[in-house]
Structure 1
């Protein structure tokens, strides 16, 4: 059952890097412009303002943004929709792995 104060599980960007080999569902909730400027390969851009309309067959969803604030908001929305959500702490600011797009 959903509780407003339910703690959203979170992982570090380093833990995320390990999980990427497992073909996970990674949502990048930044704006399309931010996403184009550089994102993690395989991530799907679903801006925060469109997250309520998102649906997937995946049970577990990982969420990332620039700093971790928007992904936390998006995680709460997805949690209410019944997904198992994992927030990526620190967001792209903490990501040191390869990115695609951007300069």
Structure 2
């Protein structure tokens, strides 16, 4: 049972090299014109409500769409609560992105 719990929790631990930011920090970062902002929620969730300036790349499509992102520019990742964006951050890190910020609490915290 402990092995299963450790395996489950491992997917939700902070990713080394990814900065977790709060909503006030996000608002400050959004002033940076050279920042990329992606929302990894589903297309339906994004259409229902999204933060202006964020581009929708659903988590399940991230690996296929990563060529649309610039590795040399900072990137902010958001989802509904922070879980999917944390997984997306891990994927981006593995693909060679270095300046990644994950929004704690996600869109739910923004609202």
Q: Return the TM-score normalized by structure 1.
A: 0.82
CA RMSD of aligned residues (A): 1.4
Where structure 1 has 5 or more consecutive residues not aligned to the other structure, the ranges are 97-103
Residue 84 of structure 2 is aligned to residue 70 of structure 1: yes
Q: Deviations over 1:32-82 (max 9, x none)?
A: 000011111110000000111212225211100000000000000001111
Residue 40 of structure 2 is aligned to residue 26 of structure 1: no
In the TM superposition, what is the alpha-carbon distance from 1:85 to its structure 2 partner?
1.1
User: 2:40·2:59 contact (CA, 8 Å) conserved in 1?
Assistant: yes
How many residue pairs match? The answer is 92
Cα distance in 2, alignment partners of residues 76 and 92 from structure 1: 19
User: 1:72·1:87 contact (CA, 8 Å) conserved in 2?
Assistant: yes
- Structure 1 residues 17-26 or 51-60, which shifts more? 51-60
In the TM superposition, what is the alpha-carbon distance from 1:7 to its structure 2 partner?
4.9
Q: Return the TM-score normalized by structure 2.
A: 0.77
Structure 1 stretches of at least 4 aligned residues deviating more than 4 Å after TM superposition? none
Question: Which position in structure 2 is the counterpart of 1:46?
Answer: 57
Greater per-residue helix proportion: 2
Cα distance in 2, alignment partners of residues 12 and 32 from structure 1: 24
Cα distance in 2, alignment partners of residues 91 and 76 from structure 1: 16
